[in-house]
Amino acid sequence: MKKRFPTILIALGITFSAMATYSYLPNYLTKKMTRHLAKIYGKETNTKEVTIADSLAIDHQIFEVYNQDTISGYSMISRALGCKIGGCDKPSKDTIAFEEFFFLTAFDKRKNIKKVRVLEYTSDHGYQIANKGWLKQFEKSDKFIVGENIDAISGATISVNSITNGVNEQVKIISGQH
């Protein structure tokens, strides 16, 4: 038993460290994120993934952003739900019936939003949310409400609400309130 105990501890340590950095989001999104971060923070940008709870890792991935050895800010990739497959006429709480899209939010080192960018949007409806001019609205505050400080988009209601709720959730997570 004494000889097995260190082996078991090592195995558990490896398992927990592997679990701590596991993400449910597609790996190719980090490459897209890196290209956007180079434009936002500069070409010498590096990232380090931050460990988060599994309940959050299902829809989010958080990174510290560094220039050389100095932290410049944070970045978060999140999954959101777009238009229902087959049309958007009947919203449902069934997440399987919705197409997903992914967006990135870059935060400065004080955790204020610098930029929001849609990394991937594949639905036929609601793609207008990827417009950079529309996304600039998220750089002006830290709490967002469609119809107040976020413009609604005709034909993109579900996507607008989804990304707005997603950015609000990101702000809570990054500030430690989630």
How confident is the model over 130-142, as pLDDT tens digits? Answer: 999 999 999 999 8
pLDDT of residue 178: 60
Q: Are strands 98-108 and 113-120 parallel, antiparallel or unpaired?
A: antiparallel
Whether the Cβ atoms of residue 157 and residue 169 lie closer than 8 Å to each other = no
Type of residue at 15:
T
pTM above the 0.85 mark? no
